[in-house]
A and B are shown apart, each in its own frame.
Chain A
Amino acid sequence: MNLVVGIHEFIWGLLVDWILFVGVYLTLGLDFIPLRLVPHALRLWWAAVRQPPEGEGETGPFLNSMAALGGMIGMGNVTGVAAALVVGGPGVLIWVWIGSLVGFATKFAETLLSTEYRTQQPSGHWSGGPMYYLGQAMPAQLRWFGPLFAVAGALAMFGVGNTLQSQQLAAVLQEGLAVPPLLTGVVMAGLTYLVISGGLRRIGLSSAWLMPLSVCTYVLGCLAMLVPHLADLPEVLATIVQQGLSPRAIASGTILVAISNGIRLGVLSNESGMGTSPIILSVGKPGQPFYQACISMLLSLADVVVCTATALVVLLSGSYLRSQSPVEVVKQAFDWGFPGSHWLLVVAAIPFTFTTFTAFAYYGERCLEYLCGERSNQIYRLLWVALMVIGAVIDLDIIWKSTEVLNALVALPNIIGIVVLSTKIFQETRSLLPPRLHLNLPQA
């Protein structure tokens, strides 16, 4: 046990840094193009909602982005934020933003490459993701990164997207509504199987019902809680800036805690560097690399918004000073906003977690498919729901810690691959850039 925890701490302490470095490298190497493309991406997405574009792919941009968003937004955007604020103080928020903004470039690059190297399976459906570009675009002696990513991915998804989520959800429901864990596990597993057996289209449809509703309700709910206390907002913002950036904070060393916690959350919350969400994003219509890459950044943007909403409520309520447990902090903050509203957390937890189950099932399934072909899909789905039930009932801490180590094996080949392919990414992005955007880049 100690050994696993040790390895886990060792690897993840470094990996977050490296994911950040890759993000910084790509952001600078692309001359901030991804960040400057966000308005363009918003226009693209909105146009696609009104009239879905034609092209090869599994689902249209709307269903596609909702399915991926379902995987990205989870309880980490709620309790994870609270945990970071408890440890790092208000200054964390600034660094969450920095970590996330840097992640935009990583996400952009991953999706660009994934879409370029996506493949049509014999039965006609499309598959994409880091394993495809790692296996095809890398120099010959590094092509084994593709299978490595797929093996680690197929296994690691069971931890971060399955047993851990299942266990947390069961605990929340048992505490909040007195639902027995076994019941939670069986019902969730049944619903999940219904959704994932229908492929990406059904995953997208279910997320398209759940995500806009729950995310909007959550964010608007948080904003509504802030409205009566708007007068305190400037003061809180000043504290955030002061603790996150001021020379005094730099001198006292507290800033290092804020930086490490903030960046960690910012980097991990939107999965940049993990290479997971491009698995969904790359197979959407119209299937043009640049288009999909633009859409991918909007998800990161939504993710930051949800994190910020949680953080502002927690900071204004001051609950992060009163409790150490993240769940307690969020509950107290909600009670401060609207008395008696802590059950909102439970209500948010169900859709947030459910969409994570379905999206990560798809990620793992594609990884296994890359290794064993399409016949493995049914087996993976059954295994997936079986582990959901087990995860809900038994505390599998050791297992999910081990899969976190595997998670590192997912992220590592991916970020190395992105660095190796960075020249290609830089060139392609510049050549694909629509000239009418007038981004005023240095002439090559």
Chain B
Amino acid sequence: MIPFSATSLLHTLTPLLLASAEAAEQGGGQSGASLIQTKLATLPMAGMFSLIAFAFLATLIVSKLSTRVGIPAILGVLLLGVIVTPDAAILSPEGAETLHVVSLSMLLFYAGLSSNFTNLRQLLGYGLLLAVGGVMVSSVLFAAGIWVISHGTGSLVPGGVGLPLSVCFLVASCLGSTDAGATLSVLRSVRRLVPPHIKTLVEFESSINDPAAILFLLLVIGLSTQTAGQDVDSIHSIAIQIQTFLKSIGSGIMVGLILTYVAQFILNSVLTSRDQVLVVGMSLAMASYGISTLLGGSGYITAFVTGAFLSNNIYKNPYITPELVENSLEPFNTMMELVVFMLFGLLFDPSKLTSYILPGVLMSLMLMFIARPLSVIVFKPFSSLNQRETALVCWCGLRGAVPLALSYSVIHSLPQISGITAEQARLIGEEVQNLIFVIVVTNLCLQGFSLPKVCRWLGFRELSDAQLAASN
């Protein structure tokens, strides 16, 4: 047990320790440093430990409270983060960047682990279609919606103008991925109402559409930066973009293959006890991001692919059971998700939020009532679901950690996009971050709050204990 607890503690503490160390570095220099921040800077190590411990306990209490109220637990943690620091300058941009990369690759690794293809059986094709096609359809629709809304409400926001179309696409593709954790945490209260195959489908969809959204985002970023200043032979440059894009997926898959083999070798021949599986999992998640990025591939895709290959046991290794993987890594994922949301809350600067509320809420409504349902209904002919079940899937599109993490990637790529100056990039970046925050929060609130009611309203009948047992 010792290696297990020691490493898990270390790993979960590292981001927060990093955060406090960063704060200590810059604490004095910042003019607008808040009370909490200056206090953080002068805290001794022991004090920092206790603070972090209390922060974690607080997240647990908040998740309990939010589940009681009926909103997803992660939303509570996010808001807790926002409340704790009214000032966002706690981390340097580089520190924030590192944290995003680490947390996002962990989340994707876990998304891969939870994408169990065999559970889904006849719904597999539909699940894939819903995840990949759904991201594209809803992103395109939603991008159009964002463009219309941001131009309609342009005078309200500090920039004074609407977002350029390419930025609308970026924002929309960020928000393409749904969050299984959020959806399932809400569905738990009505688990007798929801048919098990819908639950599996929603979980599968949200794990596959994480990488799908990232890929779509990469493609959009690639295409919108490539058009800069290249008027000749644009087909050629688009072809090169698509080739690079496919190559980065390819190298991601290859590194995933190799790492999966390494993991299986370690699981077979190196491990001395089951507790060490967690260590293997975490090192793999980080290695997959690092090695693949070094070789010019897409690190997030590699993290996802490694997880997916491992959980689906592509090398037919008799030692790897889904239970082993799930039981050892699920607690870790819960921890990671809490850390990520807490951090996003801490990093978010709510001071300019008020002017973005109206456009953000409008966009969120547009996402929930138009983009998501249409993207599900388009693929209805390929599914065996009935009307009610499809309607429920439409409403199960909760957005979570991945869009928040991706918003930072978008902000980083803004300066490279054609026709945007550095000054505009800063303004747009701020707008994008605020909008995504508002959209995610609104979405989590509304859909999370109403999902149990929608379930009852759609008339799903209660499953008996026997049926529940059969499904598990």
Contacts and interface: CB of A to CB of B under 8 A. Distances in A.
Contacts of B316: 423, 426, 444
Interface in B420-443: none
Given A6-B236, A10-B239, A442-B268, A21 B254 contact: yes
A336 interface: no
Interface stretch (A22-30, A278-286, A351-359): A22-30
B313 to A, nearest CB: 11
B258 to A, nearest CB: 6
Interface stretch (A12-20, A227-235, A367-375, A391-399): A12-20
Contacts of B317: 442
A49 interface: no
B29 interface: no
Contacts of A444: 316, 318
Nearest to A426: B316
Interface in B310-339: 314-318
Main DSSP-derived SS at the B contact region: helix
A29 B246 CA distance: 23
A13 B241 CA distance: 12
A17 B251 contact: yes
A28 B239 contact: no
B257 A21 contact: yes
B259 to A, nearest CB: 10
Given A25-B257, A28-B257, A256-B296, A17 B315 contact: no
Contact of A13 (B236, B243, B296, B315): B243
Given A14-B247, A250-B294, A21 B253 contact: yes
Interface string A185-196: 000000000000
B394 to A, nearest CB: 30
Interface in A1-54: 6, 10, 13-14, 17-18, 20-21, 24-25, 28-29
Nearest to A18: B250
A305 to B, nearest CB: 26
B315 A21 contact: no
Interface residues of B, number: 22
Contact of B243 (A10, A25, A250, A256): A10
B4 interface: no
A94 to B, nearest CB: 15
Contacts of B247: 13-14, 17
A147 to B, nearest CB: 25
Contacts of A20: 254
A17 B258 contact: no
B10 to A, nearest CB: 27
B261 interface: yes
A14 B258 contact: no
A24 B262 CA distance: 13
Interface in A215-268: 250, 256
Nearest to B253: A21
A321 to B, nearest CB: 27
Interface in B57-74: none
A28 B261 contact: yes
B466 to A, nearest CB: 35
B221 to A, nearest CB: 20
Contacts of A18: 250
Contact of B250 (A6, A14, A423, A442): A14
A162 to B, nearest CB: 29
B257 A17 contact: no
Interface in B274-321: 294, 296, 314-318
A431 B260 CA distance: 23
Contact of A24 (B242, B257, B315): B257
Contacts of B318: 442-444
B59 to A, nearest CB: 40
Contacts of B258: 24, 28
A21 B236 contact: no
A56 to B, nearest CB: 32
A24 B254 contact: yes
11 contacts: A10-B239, A14-B246, A14-B250, A21-B257, A25-B257, A28-B260, A29-B314, A256-B296, A426-B316, A442-B268, A442-B318
8 smallest CB-CB distances across A and B, nearest first, come from A28-B261, A17-B250, A21-B254, A13-B243, A25-B257, A10-B239, A29-B315, A14-B246
Interface of B: 236, 239, 242-243, 246-247, 250-251, 253-254, 257-258, 260-261, 268, 294, 296, 314-318
Given A18-B250, A28-B258, A256-B296, 6 more contacts: A6-B239, A10-B242, A14-B243, A20-B254, A24-B257, A423-B316
